[in-house]
Amino acid sequence: MEPSQKHKMHEIIKTYITPTLLLTVVFYLGINFNRLNTIMEHVNDNEKHMPYSEKVKTFVLRDNYDYDRLNVKDDILEMKSTLLDIQLQIRNNH
């Protein structure tokens, strides 16, 4: 590439690309800032998002919830009992 061609390319880049790039970046940031505000307003809107406890009451059948909760509780008690038995066996063997 000849020096005069390089100079022309440099002028084209300096003249057109920089303002275009600047406008593109500003436009892009403006759009994303507006999207972020819209998303934050949506997330903070309690009418659209109910608390977890309300979701459980609304979408999980109470009988199923109680049954599962009791099963988990029984499983935990069984694991504790098994752990105590193992600890007793270890103590007795030493």
- Residue 43 reports pLDDT greater than 80: no
Q: Is the pLDDT of residue 32 over 90?
A: no
pLDDT band at 82 (very low <50, low <70, confident <90, very high): very high
What is the band of 60 on the pLDDT scale with cuts at 50, 70, 90? low
Residue with the larger pLDDT of the pair 76 and 26: 76
Q: How far apart are CA 35 and CA 29, in angstroms?
A: 10
Q: How confident is the model at residue 73 (pLDDT cuts 50, 70, 90)?
A: very high
Judged against a pLDDT cut of 70, whether residue 54 lies above it is answered with yes
Q: What is the pLDDT of residue 26?
A: 85
Q: Is the pLDDT of residue 42 over 80?
A: no
Contact 43, 49 (CB under 8 A): yes
pTM assigned to the model: 0.34
DSSP H helical ranges for the chain = 3-12, 18-43, 52-59, 62-93
